[in-house]
Amino acid sequence: MASEKLHVLAHPIVNARLSKLRQTSTTPKEFREGIHDISMILGIEASRTLEEETFQGETPIGPFTGTVIKPRIGLTPILRAGMGMTDALLNLFPAARVYHLGIFREKVSLQPVEYYSKLPPNPTVDLVFLLDPLIATGGTACAALNMVIEWGIPVNSIKLLCVLASQDGLRRVQSEFPGVELWVAAVDPHLTTNGLISPGLGDTAERLRDVDALLVDDDALGPSTPKLKAVANDLQRIAELGALTASTLVEYIASRTASSSSVFVYDLAEQAGFGSLTKSWAEAGSGTAPVVSLQTRAGAGLSIVGRLSQGTSKDAAKGAVLTAYTTPSGLAAMAQSLAYLPPATSTSRLVIQVPTVTPVGEHFALSPTLAPFIPALPLLPEGLTILLSATPQEAIELATLSYQLTNTHVVHLFDHHSATRETGHVVVPPVVLPETNLTVEEGLKKAGLSAFEYVGDQNAETVVVLLNGPLALTAKGLAGRISGLGVVIVRVLRPWNEDALRNVLPATVKRVHVFDDVPTETTHGALYLDVFATLLNPLQRGPVVKALRVVPSRTQEFLSDPASFFTFIADLLPSPVSIPSLAAPNHKKLLFFSTPNTTLSALPRMVETVFLPHKALSSRLLTDYDVFSRPGGVAADRIVLSPRQDEAPFIPLSAVLPISPRSSGVADFVAVVDPALLKSHDVLSHAASESPVLVVTDATAAELVASLPSEVAALARERDLRLCILDAKELVSGIAKGNAHVQKALENVIVLLAFLRLYLGPAATEDLVAKIARADLGDDVQGVDLTELVSKAWHGLVEIELPAPEATPDADKPAAATLKHFECNAIAVETADGETVVNGARLGTWHDAAKHILFPSAFTPPGLTYSSPEEQNPALRPELPERTYLITCTVNRRLTPLEYDRNVFHLEFDTRGTGLKYEIGEALGVHGWNDAGEVLDFCAWYGVDPDRLITLPVPGSDGTRVHTRTVFQALQQQIDLFGKPTKTFYTELAEHATNIADNYALRFIGSPEGSATFKKLSEKDTVTFADILRRYESARPGIEVLCELIGDIKPRHYSIASSQAVVGDRVDLLVVSVEWVTPSGSPRYGQCTRYLAGLKVGQKVTVSIKPSVMKLPPDHKQPIIMAGLGTGAAPFRAFLQHRALLASQGVPVGPTYYYFGSRHQSQEYLYGEEIEAFILDGTITKAGLAFSRDGPRKVYIQHKMREDGADLARMLWDERGVFYLCGPTWPVPDVYEALVDALVDHAGVSREKAGAFLEGLKEEERYVLEVY
**pLDDT tens-digit profile of 899-914?**
888 899 999 999 988 8
Q: How far apart are CA 398 and CA 388, in angstroms?
A: 8
| Res 80: pLDDT | 64
Element (H, E) at 472: helix 470-479
Contact 862, 849 (CB under 8 A): no
Residue type, 1077: V
Q: Residue 759: how many CB atoms within 10 A of its CB?
A: 21
- pLDDT for the residue 157: 93
Q: How many helices (H) and strands (E) does the chain have?
A: 47, 54
Instruction: Give bridge partners of residue 359 from the DSSP assignment.
Output: 366
Instruction: Report pLDDT for 725.
Output: 94
pLDDT at residue 159, as a whole number = 95
- Please report, for residues 141, 164, 1013, the alpha-carbon distance to residue 201 in angstroms, rounded to integers and kept in the order given: 17, 8, 53
Coil, helix or strand at residue 862? coil
- Which amino acid, one-letter code, is at 61? I
Cβ 1093 vs Cβ 1085: under 8 Å: no
The full DSSP string for 419-452 is: GGG-B-----------BTT--HHHHHHHTT--SE
Contacts of 978 (CB under 8 A, 6+ apart): 930, 931, 934, 1024, 1025, 1026, 1087
Distances (CA, A) of 370 to 266, 518, 549, 552, 1042: 18, 8, 12, 8, 42
Alpha carbon distance, N-terminus to C-terminus of the chain: 43
818: phi then psi, degrees, rounded to nearest 5: -90, 110
Residues 6+ apart with CB under 8 A from 816: 709, 710, 711
Residues 6+ apart with CB under 8 A from 261: 289, 290, 315, 319, 320, 321, 322
Rounded to 5°, the CA angle 753-759-764 comes to: 75
Closest CA to 891 of 1128, 1161, 1071, 1138: 1071
Q: How far, rounded to the nearest angstrom, does the alpha carbon of residue 222 sit from its chain's CA centroid?
A: 35
Using CB atoms within 10 A of its CB, is residue 287 exposed (0-12), middle (13-18) or buried (19+)?
A: middle
pLDDT at 107: 41
Of 992, 981, 986, 977, nearest to 1035 by C-alpha is 992
Reduced to 3 states (helix: H, G, I; strand: E, B; else coil), residue 216 is coil
CA–CA distance, 489 with 501 (Å, rounded to integer): 10
Residues 484, 573 contacting (CB under 8 angstroms): yes
The Cα–Cα gap between 710 and 815 comes to: 9
Residues 711, 816 contacting (CB under 8 angstroms): yes
Q: Which helix (H) or strand (E) holds 511?
A: strand 511-517
* CA nearest neighbour of 765 among 778, 753, 775: 753
One-letter amino acid identity for 751?
V
> DSSP label at 214?
G
Strand partners of residue 628: none
List Cβ neighbours of 738 (8 Å cut-off, separation of 6 or more): none
Distance CA 667, CA 684 (A): 10
Q: Which of 146, 155, 143 is nearest to 180 (CA)?
A: 155
Tell me the angle at which helices 983-990 and 1039-1046 cross, rounded to the nearest 10 degrees: 160
- The answer to whether the beta carbons of residues 1184 and 1200 sit under 8 Å apart is yes
- All residue ranges of the chain with pLDDT < 70 are 1-2, 80, 104-118, 193-195, 202-243, 285-286, 298-299, 310-319, 425-433, 583, 615, 645-647, 806-817, 829-882, 953-963, 1080
Give the Cβ contact number of residue 610 at 10 Å: 20
- Nearest CA among 9, 124, 131 for reference residue 79: 131
Strand ranges inside 118-199, DSSP E:
127-131, 134-135, 158-166, 181-188, 190-191, 197-198
Distance, in Å, from the CA atom of 471 to the CA atom of 417, rounded to the nearest integer, reads: 11
Reference 566, options 555, 554, 580; nearest CA is 580
Got the DSSP string for 615-633? TTEEEEEEEEEE-SSSTT-
Report, in angstroms and rounded to the nearest whole number, the Rg of the chain calculated over CA atoms: 37
Q: Are 77 and 100 in contact (CB under 8 A)?
A: yes
Q: What angle do CA 857, 862, 863 make, to 5 degrees?
A: 115
What pLDDT, on the 0 to 100 scale, is given for residue 161? 95
Is 485 in contact with 466 (CB distance < 8 Å)? no
User: How many CA atoms lie within 13 Å of 417's alpha carbon, on the beta-carbon side?
Assistant: 32
The pairing of beta strand 634-643 with beta strand 588-594? antiparallel
**CA atoms of 1172 and 1181, how far apart (whole Å):** 11
**Distance of alpha carbon 839 from alpha carbon 267, whole angstroms:** 9
Q: Are 708 and 695 in contact (CB under 8 A)?
A: no
How far, in Å, CA of 430 to CA of 53, rounded?
Answer: 65
pLDDT value for 114: 59
pLDDT for 957-977, tens place per residue?
Answer: 555 566 677 888 889 888 889
pLDDT score for 864? 32
Nearest-5° Cα angle at 921, 915 to 923:
60
Query: Coil, strand, or helix at residue 73?
Result: strand
What is the C-alpha separation between 1208 and 1196, in angstroms, rounded?
A: 17
pTM of the model: 0.55
- Spatial separation of the C-alpha atoms in residues 376 and 462, rounded to whole Å: 29
